[in-house]
Structure 1
Amino acid sequence: MVYVRKNVSKLTRTERRRFVEALLELKRSGEYDEFVRLHIEHFVGDGDRGLRAAHMTPSFLPWHRQFVLDLESALQRVDPSVTVPYWDWTRDRSPTSVPWSDDLLGGTGRPVDRQVMTGPFAYRTGNWTIRESITNVEFLTRNLGRPRDPIDLPTRDDLNWALKDPVYDVAPWDSTVTKGFRNKMEGWGSGRVVWRNHNRVHRWVGGVMLGGASVNDPVFWLVHAFVDMQWQRWQRRHRKHRYLPAKPPGRNSEQYGRIVARHERLPPWDMTPDEMEDMSQIYRYE
C-alpha cells in the first residue's frame, strides 16, 4: 500500500504528537543514534580520499532517499501510522512558523550557547541528549536565520532554477560543477552565492545542522523529504533524463572509484541508484 508524506504545516495535532513520540522512542532505544553515526561515516568531501556516496556526488539524492526511507521504516515499527513530513521552506520561512512550534520541533537556540530550550527535543526535557557528534556538546543547538549575520531561506525561484536543468549531473561529478540538477539542488557554490537550496537551508537552521552530525536535529528529515520531493518533480518534468553517470569513470579519471554510477552498489546498502529512481509503489507526496 502506498503511503503519504504530508506537508508538516498540514499535520493534525495527533499526527504531530505521534511523529514526535515515535522519534523519541527511537532515541530512547538507541536506534536514532545509529542514523547519526551512519551519516557522519558517509560525510566524505571532495578533499577526502575514498568513495563519496552521500555528499558532493551524484548519489546525494538516492543516498538520502534511502536514508529517509530507513528512518521512516524505523518510525513505523514504533507507530505504523507515522510517515516523515516535509518542510516547504519556500512557504514557511520564519523562525516562528511551522515546524518550529513547541509541540513539534521547538524553536531556535538561546543567544549565549545556541541551546534549544523549547519543544520535545530540548536537552532539559531529558529526552534528547546528543551522544554521537563531532563535538562534545550534548544539547541540540540552532541559530535560525543567523540574526547576527542574517541569511534567507531559498525561494521558489531558487528551486525552479534547479528544476529546469534537464541534465541530472555532469563531470567532474563533485561540488565544483555549475550545471546539472544534482548540485543545483544540493547547493555547493562559490563566489557571491556560496550556498543554495539544500545547503542554504542547513546554514539557515545553524547549530548542529552545519556538519556531518546534522541528523541530531530532527528537522534534518523534514528537509530531506522536501529535497526528495524536488527530485520527484524533476523526474516528472524531464522524463527522458536519468541519473548520471550511467557508467563509472575510467581508471585514468580522478573520480575513478570515488563516485557511484547508475548500476553500482550504493553503500552501505545493496541497492543501486537505478533501483532508487522510482518510489511510486512505496510513497507519494501530498
Structure 2
Amino acid sequence: MKLSSVIISAAAIGLSALSSVSAQQTQPACSSIYTRQELLSLSSSQWNLVKAILSAMQRDGWFGWFAYIHNTYFGQIHGNSQFFPFHRRFVYEWESIGKRYNPGYIQPYWDEMRDYRAPATSQVLTPNWVGGNGVSPNWCVQNGNQAGWTMTFPNNHCFQRNYGNNGNLGSWYSPEYINSMIQRDTTMARFRPDIEYSLHGVVHINIGGDMYQGYSPNDWIFFLHHANLDRLWWQWQVGGRMWTMDGPNYDGSNISLNSNMPQFNEPISSVMQLGYGKMCYQYASNPLRRRDLGADLQQRLIQTLPKNTLAAWFPQTAKTPAAVNLIASVPANNETSNGQYIPYPTPLTKEWLEMHFAKPGEVQHVEADARKFVDAMRAAGYKSPY
C-alpha cells in the first residue's frame, strides 16, 4: 500500500476570519469545499456509510498501515512544532483513503470539551457509536463500530480500550480553558505544548488501550480526536495567526513554513490554510449539542467575569465592543445562578509524557496554568454550563 461554510464561530474568539489571502499562500484555491461535522450530528444514513467504509478499510489493512506510520514517526511528530501540521496532513490522508471507497466519506470530529466533566457518560462512547471500555482481563472492546476487531499492528491482537483511573474517568479540559488558550497564546512554540499536554494527552490516556500507544490510529477515536485538535488549531489560526509557525523542529533546528513534514516530504506551508491546495475542507459546529460555544460562551464570560479576570484569561473577548460596553457594570464575584464550578483536569501520566518526549518545564507550565485558571474562575464565582 502507498500512504498516500467554515463555521468556526468567529465569535468564539471574538474575531472575524481573515478578509484576504496572505501573500504566503502559494496553493491554489479549492474549487469546492466539503464540511467536517461533529460526530453526533451525523444522520443515520451518514453514520451507516462511515461504518461501512471503516469496516472495508480495516479489511484491507488501512488501520494497520496508519498505525504503523504514526508509530514509525512518533518521535518526530510529538514534542515539537511538527505536531499540528503533520497530524492535519495525516488525518487528511486517512480521509482521502476513505473517499476511495466512497466519495461521501468525510472525517467527523469529536468535540470532547462538551463532555469534559463526565467523559465516560458521553454519547460518543456508547454502543450505537464508537463503543465504550474494553472488558477485563484483555480489555477487548465488545460494542461500538469496532467491536470484536482484530488489529494487525504491531501484532495481531483484539482491539483494546482500557479507561484510565481504573475506569473512573476524571474530568478533561473545559471549553472555557481551551478557549482561553486559543486567545492567549501568540506563538506555535506556546500553543503546541499547551494543547498537546492538555486536551490531546488526557483523551489518549483516558481512552487507553490502543489509544495509549504509539500505534493509536488503531482506534478510530484517534481520527475523531485529531480532527477536533485540527479544528482548534484552525480557530487559533484565524485569530490573526494564519501563518504562524515557529518553535523547534524534530531535529532541534528552528522550524519554518518550508520545513518538510515527516513521511509526506511536503512543506508545512502546503497545509497551513484550509480551502487551499489539498485542504479542501472546513469545520461546522454542531447545532444538536447542548449549547453554542461561540456567542453564548462569550456573552456569559462578559456578563460574569470581573474586568481584570476577563482581560487576563480572555484578552480577545475583553476587547470586543460587547465587552467594552458592558464591562464597567460587571461587579466582582458576580456568581452565575446556573452551571457548576469547573473542576481541576485529570493529570497526565509520567509514562505517557516520557513516551511523548515531553519537556518537564512545558508540562509543568500547562498543569500550573490549568490549576490557576480553575482557581481564577472559582474566585470570580463563574460556573460553567457545560
TM-score by length of structure 1 reads: 0.80
CA contact (8 A) 2:125 2:131 kept: yes
User: Do the aligned partners of residues 213 and 240 (structure 1) sit closer, same or farther apart at CA in structure 2, a change above 3 Å counting?
Assistant: closer
Task: Name structure 2 gaps, 5 residues minimum.
Answer: 1-31, 285-386
Shift in Å at residue 148 of structure 1? 5.2
Show the counterpart of 1:11. 42
Structure 1 residues 52-201: aligned runs within 5 Å: 52=76, 54-93=77-116, 94-123=119-148, 128-133=149-154, 138-144=157-163, 146-147=165-166, 150-170=169-189, 180-187=190-197, 196-201=198-203
Structure 1 residue aligned with 2:271, among 259, 263, 276? 276
Return the structure number with greater helix share. Answer: 2
For the pair shown, the structure with the greater C-alpha radius of gyration is 2
CA contact (8 A) 1:104 1:120 kept: yes
CA contact (8 A) 2:113 2:174 kept: yes
CA contact (8 A) 1:153 1:201 kept: yes
User: Do the aligned partners of residues 153 and 40 (structure 1) sit closer, same or farther apart at CA in structure 2, a change above 3 Å counting?
Assistant: same
User: Do the aligned partners of residues 280 and 98 (structure 1) sit closer, same or farther apart at CA in structure 2, a change above 3 Å counting?
Assistant: farther
CA contact (8 A) 1:8 1:98 kept: no
CA contact (8 A) 1:16 1:103 kept: no
Report percent identity of matched pairs. 27
CA contact (8 A) 1:152 1:204 kept: no
Q: What is the root-mean-square deviation in Å for CA atoms of aligned residues? A: 2.2
Show the counterpart of 1:39. 70
Shift in Å at residue 270 of structure 1? 2.6
How many corresponding residue pairs?
248
Shift in Å at residue 278 of structure 1? 0.4
Higher mean C-alpha deviation, range 87-96 or range 63-72: 87-96
TM-score by length of structure 2 reads: 0.60
CA contact (8 A) 2:163 2:206 kept: yes
Show the counterpart of 2:384. none
Provide the C-alpha distance between the structure 2 equivalents of 1:159 and 1:213, rounded to a whole number of angstroms: 26
User: Do the aligned partners of residues 148 and 27 (structure 1) sit closer, same or farther apart at CA in structure 2, a change above 3 Å counting?
Assistant: closer
Structure 2 residue aligned with 1:236, among 235, 238, 241? 238
Task: Name structure 1 gaps, 5 residues minimum.
Answer: 45-51, 171-179, 188-195
SS of structure 2 residue aligned to 1:4: strand
**Is 1:22 aligned to residue 41 of structure 2?**
no
Following TM superposition, where does structure 1 have runs of at least 4 consecutive aligned residues deviating by more than 3 angstroms? 144-150
Show the counterpart of 1:255. 252
Shift in Å at residue 147 of structure 1? 3.8
